[in-house]
């Protein structure tokens, strides 16, 4: 349909050029109407990064300057967040339940925000508060001021409330530019319930992304809206041949009437063409954004061309927007007494970068920290940590306050584990632990659990799913695990509830909940500093 529609638009354009409209002189009227130009400024996976991401990139005040400069050179502009605007945020925003990020986005002029999985980190009722305002039901308004909520709408076409049967947020937003209506349809990945805490999505149903977009396209077509943009919080990866990943299937199954896809979730920078349609994504943390220039036919109301470029939010030579900078500095001052507390030190960089087996130095440290604080919650002999829950590196040279090189602050530790999950200890058999390890590979992807010291195993990358781990290599302090024996294991509450599709954890017995995972990491640094990066030899990958 899309190709046919494009051909029809071209033929109509030629006819209009060759045959002047009745009552109009040649070269005038609708036949020669210039295209309507619309500029979309898109970013995704901001994750509350209102402060600069690094010494060279990012920061809400710098992004605001870029946006305002680009708005000044375009007649029609719309600013779009592709999901995860909030959630998994640094302390300066998270300490205030991400109210600072919403307020910064208001100042930046965000027009539309699709719901991402991390928008639901504190539950969907809390996300309603982000939209409509009001103080937090437990903490109140910690900044001493009220909270008005987002000045822009969240969109969630495929998120349905079980109690009402209606979408949690509007499915789309229609904006008019120069007489041409443009619809933005927003969806989040259908797999959201498996990657957020179970209680956060209780009472919600998540529908297939492409099917949902197609449903609303039919509604928009009946409204005679020709230009449709899908904002999808699911993404892919750039490759030599274009794009790969989940977004390809979504685009392939989506109605040809959709002209453009703004995507996210994978934190990747790409602009590619899938089946003749432009698909964009920008890096996380406010490091990059995408400028998308549309030319719309004023007669047919359809897209004539799409031009997209990704741009780094470089700080050098850029003056931060004064109003946004003032807001950021206000919250920095409020958070500083906690953020700048030194909790320990490191001998070098401890990062979440995984080796060939999927093990990272920081994953080892976190698993060890959780195991060290298991005695208070029933004791344990093994700890597991999901790699997706490790959100930042600990860098020797990073200075966030007045600390010395190598010193680690509470704010830096918070960036690593910002979710506030609780440590949970339960009992699994050796056979269940073997089955758990096999769940690291499935048709959706690979998630290698980080494990505590003393627990080791080998797996074959080439072996079929379900048979990758050699049971004989699963050892605890050099002793093979007994399939029939019981072992106490510790993990965060997200994993304990079956998060990331690790359903074996939900079969555990004798479940006991303890301290917040971040607190365990803070205490571990206090007791073991300086902490050194380990050899990453707990998990062995063989061909």
Q: Which of 309, 512, 502 is nearest to 426 (CA)?
A: 512
**Three-class HEC string of 308-323:** EEEEECECCCCCCCHH
Which is more confidently placed, 515 or 127? 127
The answer on 181 and 114 residing in a single domain is yes
Confidence category of residue 505, pLDDT binned at 50, 70, 90: very high
Domain-located, residue 328 = no
Please state whether the peptide bond connecting residue 530 to the residue before it is cis, i.e. omega within 30 degrees of 0.
Answer: yes
Domain match, 24 and 3 both = yes
Query: Cα(330)–Cα(104) distance, rounded to whole angstroms?
Result: 12
Supply 502's token pair.
């690790």
Token code pair at residue 356: 């060939």
- Report the candidate in 525, 515, 529 with the shortest Cα–Cα distance to residue 373: 515
Indicate if 45 and 14 belong to the same structural domain: no
The verdict on residue 347 lying in a domain is: yes
Torsion, Cα of 105, 110, 112, 116 (10° steps): -30
In a domain, 330, yes or no: no
Confidence at residue 316, expressed as pLDDT on a 0 to 100 scale: 98
The answer to whether residue 298 is domain-embedded is yes
Residue-wise pLDDT tens digits, 472-484: 999 999 999 999 9
What is the extent of the structural domain holding 317? 34-323
Residue 377 lies in a domain: yes
Average pLDDT in the chain:
93
pLDDT at 336: 94
Residue 83: phi and psi, rounded to 5, are 110, 160
Among 298, 323, 348, identify where a domain stops: 323
Q: Are residues 25 and 39 in the same domain?
A: no
Confidence band (pLDDT; 50, 70, 90) for 525? very high
Shared-domain flag, residues 312 and 436? no
Identify the domain boundary among 323, 348, 369.
323
Q: Is residue 332 part of a domain?
A: no
Domain count along the chain: 3
pLDDT in tens, 140-170: 888 888 999 999 999 999 999 999 999 999 9
* pLDDT surpasses 70 at 26: no
Residue 360 pLDDT level (bands cut at 50, 70, 90): very high
Q: What phi-psi label fits residue 107: left (phi over 0), alpha (psi between -120 and 50 degrees) or beta? A: alpha
Angle at Cα 343 formed by Cα 529 and Cα 141, nearest 5°? Answer: 160
Same structural domain for residues 203 and 347? no
Domain boundary among 296, 323, 350: 323
The pLDDT of residue 251 is: 98
Q: What is the mean pLDDT of residues 6-21?
A: 32
Whether 333 maps to a domain, the answer reads no
Q: With cut-offs at 50, 70 and 90, classify the pLDDT of residue 444.
A: confident
Question: What CATH number does the domain containing 386 carry?
Answer: 3.90.780.10
Largest separation between any pair of C-alpha atoms in the chain: 92
High-pLDDT (> 70) share of the chain, %:
94
Q: Are 39 and 176 in the same domain?
A: yes
Both 24 and 64 in one domain: the answer is no
Q: Which two tokens stand for residue 484?
A: 């029939």
pLDDT for position 402: 82
H helix or E strand, kind and range, residue 338:
helix 322-339
Backbone angles phi, psi at 518, to 5 degrees: -60, -40
Q: Are residues 318 and 461 in the same domain?
A: no
Let me know whether 96 and 198 are in one domain.
yes
- pLDDT for res 347: 98
Give per-residue burial for 377-416: e unless 16+ CB within 10 Å, then b. Answer: bbebebbbbbbebbbbbbbbebebeebeebbbbbbbbbbb
**Count of helices and strands (H, E) across the chain:** 13, 27
Confidence category of residue 9, pLDDT binned at 50, 70, 90 = very low
Q: Token pair for residue 123?
A: 């539950």
Contact partners, residue 460, CB within 8 Å, separation at least 6: 468, 470, 541, 542, 543
Q: Let me know if residue 334 belongs to a domain.
A: no
Residue 155: which of 236, 81, 45 has the closest Cα?
81
Task: Give the tokens for residue 111.
Answer: 């027009």
Token code pair at residue 197? 């805490």
The CATH code of the domain that includes 173 is: 3.60.21.10
The CA R_g of the chain, rounded to the nearest whole Å, is 25
376 confidence band (pLDDT: 50, 70, 90): confident
Interval 382-423: pLDDT, tens: 999 999 999 999 999 988 888 899 999 999 999 999 998 999
Asked if 387 and 437 sit in the same domain, the reply is yes
Do 314 and 426 belong to one domain? no
């Amino acid at each position: 349909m899309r190709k046919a529609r494009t051909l029809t638009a071209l033929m109509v354009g030629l006819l209009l050029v060759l045959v002047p409209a009745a009552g109009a002189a040649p070269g005038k009227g609708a036949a020669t109407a210039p295209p309507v130009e619309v500029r979309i400024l898109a970013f995704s996976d901001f994750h509350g990064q209102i402060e600069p991401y690094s010494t060279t990139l990012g920061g809400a005040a710098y992004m605001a300057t870029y946006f305002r400069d680009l708005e000044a050179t375009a007649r029609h502009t719309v600013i779009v967040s592709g999901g995860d605007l909030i959630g998994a945020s640094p302390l300066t925003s998270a300490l205030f339940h991400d109210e600072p990020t919403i307020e910064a986005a208001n100042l930046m002029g965000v027009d539309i925000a699709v719901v991402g999985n991390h928008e639901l980190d504190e539950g969907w009722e809390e996300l309603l508060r982000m939209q409509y305002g009001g103080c937090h039901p437990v903490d109140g308004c910690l900044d001493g001021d009220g909270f008005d909520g987002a000045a822009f709408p969240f969109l969630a076409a495929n998120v349905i409330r079980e109690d009402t049967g209606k979408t949690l947020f509007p499915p789309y937003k229609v904006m008019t530019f120069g007489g041409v209506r443009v619809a933005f349809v927003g969806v989040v990945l259908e797999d959201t319930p498996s990657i957020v805490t179970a209680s956060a999505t209780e009472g919600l149903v998540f529908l297939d992304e492409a099917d949902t977009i197609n449903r609303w396209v039919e509604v928009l077509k009946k409204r005679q809206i020709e230009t449709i943009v899908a904002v999808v919080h699911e993404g892919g990866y750039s490759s030599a041949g274009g794009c790969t990943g989940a977004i390809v299937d979504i685009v392939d199954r989506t109605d040809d009437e959709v002209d453009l896809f703004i995507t996210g979730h994978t934190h990747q920078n790409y602009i590619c063409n899938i089946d003749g349609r432009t698909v964009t994504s920008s890096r996380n943390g406010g490091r990059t954004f995408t400028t998308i220039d549309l030319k719309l036919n004023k007669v047919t109301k359809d897209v004539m061309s799409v031009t997209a470029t990704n741009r780094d939010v470089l700080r050098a030579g850029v003056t931060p927007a004064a109003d946004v900078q003032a807001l950021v500095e206000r919250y920095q001052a409020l958070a500083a007494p906690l953020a700048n507390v030194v909790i320990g030190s490191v001998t070098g960089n401890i990062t979440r970068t995984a080796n060939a087996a999927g093990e990272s130095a920081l994953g080892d440290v976190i698993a060890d920290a959780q195991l060290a604080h298991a005695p208070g919650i029933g004791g344990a002999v093994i700890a597991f940590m999901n790699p997706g829950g490790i959100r930042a590196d600990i860098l020797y040279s990073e200075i966030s306050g007045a600390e010395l090189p190598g010193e680690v602050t509470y704010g830096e530790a918070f960036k690593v584990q910002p979710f506030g999950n609780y440590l949970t200890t339960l009992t699994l058999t050796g056979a269940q632990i073997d089955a758990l390890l096999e769940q690291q590979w499935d048709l959706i992807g690979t998630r290698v659990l980080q494990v505590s010291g003393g627990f080791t195993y080998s797996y074959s990358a080439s072996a079929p799913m379900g048979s990758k781990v050699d049971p004989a290599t699963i050892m605890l302090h050099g002793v093979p695990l007994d399939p029939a024996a019981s072992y106490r294991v510790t993990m965060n509450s997200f994993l304990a509830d079956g998060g990331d599709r690790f359903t074996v954890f939900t079969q555990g017995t004798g479940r006991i909940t303890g301290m917040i995972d971040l607190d365990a990491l803070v205490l571990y640094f206090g007791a073991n500093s300086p902490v050194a990066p380990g050899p990453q030899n707990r998990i062995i990958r063989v061909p």
